[in-house]
Structure 1
Amino acid sequence: MSDRALPAVVVDVPRSDHVAHPRRWLLHGGRPASRWLIRRRFGVRVHHAERVPRRGGAVLASNHIGFMDGPLLSIFSPRPVHTLTKAEMFVGPLGAFLTTCGQVPLHRFEYDPAAVRTCLRVVRGGGAVGIFPEGRRGGGDLQRFHRGAAYLGLVTGAPVVPVVVLGTRAPGGGAASIPGRGDVVDLVYGEPVTLGATRWPRTREQVADASLLVREHMLALIDEARVLTGRDLPGPMPPGELEDDPYTGLILRGEP
């Protein structure tokens, strides 16, 4: 879709019409082959894919328990997902691969308006963005909850779809662990949460209230996923393996 074909909403504050869209060709075209390769090692079960809107902008908000969460969210979701990924991974061959796959680098330890505007560019253009509100791999129980998913939903009016990942890290497993051969990972999608587009200026209270609502829906989905799959979250990371993560969230500077 060209910039001229985008809805007029792209010029709303904060603007994103001047931002380059992340690359799409490998993310879209490479998913069948990627699914085949991954399933040669472990199984992936997708539950309630019908809950993800087939068209239009969407924000997929997932818990974060293991190293494979981001790739699986991008590859196995019902539609391609441009996932926010920590900028430290965008180095060398891996960085080039992530860029080619259309993933969005996020500088977690400094103000990063580029990541925000890139996500807005994707969603306003009718695409899907993936975000982990916890900000880092951990127990997946949403004890920490950044405001980025709700913020994107408020700015664009796009639905926020809760996602629960189970099985990418075994109980007691470390930050770099991946599913073993023959293991199974479950991706459970929840009903979309529509926050309604809130025009600038958006207040901190509005974003905070919207974040609490998204978190409540995600917590309810965790309970649903436990019953549906018969499995549970892996528990906390081993001592010393929890990543640093500034508790900031994705709010553009200049908004109240």
Structure 2
Amino acid sequence: MTFYSFAKFVVSVVLKPLYRIQIEGTENIPKEGAVLLCANHIDNLDPPIVGITSPRTVHFMAKEEVFRVPVLKTILPKVHAFPVKRGMSDREALRNALKVLKQGNVLGLFPEGTRSKTGELGKGLAGAGFFALRSESFVVPCAIIGPYKLFKPIRVIYGKPIDFTQYRVNKVSAEEATLIIMDSIREIIEKNK
């Protein structure tokens, strides 16, 4: 058993009963090939929640501050997380993310870049669109519907994959591509309120 599988098992055992996690649409995640998994961001628990509900291993970009926390700096690289400096262009993080996709893996992103204080979907940053356009990946929108309250259900809904081939051909901007992704997440949230 890999460390990732072990961590996924442990986190599942803890979080699934606490938050009565309901999962829908995992069949929408392609079984192989590059996938950019984009979810809304309402709580610090979102990354582990996406990690335990996705049938595939998810590689996450995480703000570099969490890599300074003693226990986390040891665990995070073992669960395929890598640091990103927020608020600036972090070339190494961009390279790492594109490498994850180039290798046919799943990259997990929260396009808003930070947690929503209100629980409402915020504005997406251009980074999500950049990765969608610069890779051969399918984009899978994901909605986390809360709020996080002990013993109350959290829903994690994976939407249909978006094929960005035509958007790449039409040379849409990273901002436009992000809007397409955010609209897909918004649609899932609206349908499942």
Give the TM-score normalised by the residue count of structure 1. Answer: 0.68
Q: Which structure is higher in RCO with an 8 Å CA cutoff and minimum separation 6?
A: 2
Computing the radius of gyration from Cα coordinates, the structure with the larger value is 1
- CA separation in 2, counterparts of 1:213 and 1:40? 34
Question: Runs in 1 of length 4+ with deviation above 6 angstroms?
Answer: none
Match of 2:161 in 1: 192
* Number of residue equivalences: 189
Say whether residues 1:27 and 2:4 are aligned partners. yes
Q: Which runs of 5+ in 2 are unaligned?
A: none
More helix by share: 2
Q: Secondary structure at the match of 1:30?
A: helix
Q: Say whether the 8 Å CA contact 1:167–1:184 is kept in structure 2.
A: yes
Secondary structure of the corresponding residue to residue 36 of structure 2: strand
Identity of aligned residues (%): 26
- SS of equivalent to 1:73: helix
For 1:140 and 1:151, the matched residues in 2 are separated by 25
One-letter code aligned to 2:111? P
Q: Which residue type is aligned with residue 184 of structure 1?
A: P
Q: How does 1:76-155 map to 2 (within 5 A)?
A: 76-91=53-68, 92-138=70-116, 139-155=118-134
Q: What SS does structure 1 have at the residue aligned with 2:21? A: strand
Contact 2:11–2:48 (8 Å) recurs in 1: no
Q: If each structure's strand is expressed as a fraction of its own residues, which one has the higher value?
A: 2
Q: CA RMSD in A?
A: 2.1
Deviates more, 1:39-48 or 1:89-98: 39-48
> Which of 42, 46, 51 is the matching residue for 1:65?
42
CA contact (8 A) 1:67 1:168 kept: no
1:183 to 152, 155, 180: 152
Once the two structures are superposed, residues 185-204 of structure 1 have per-residue CA deviations (whole angstroms, 9 ceiling, x without a partner) of 110111111112848xx97x
TM-score, structure 2 length as denominator?
0.88
Q: Distance in 1 between matches of 2:138 and 2:6?
A: 25
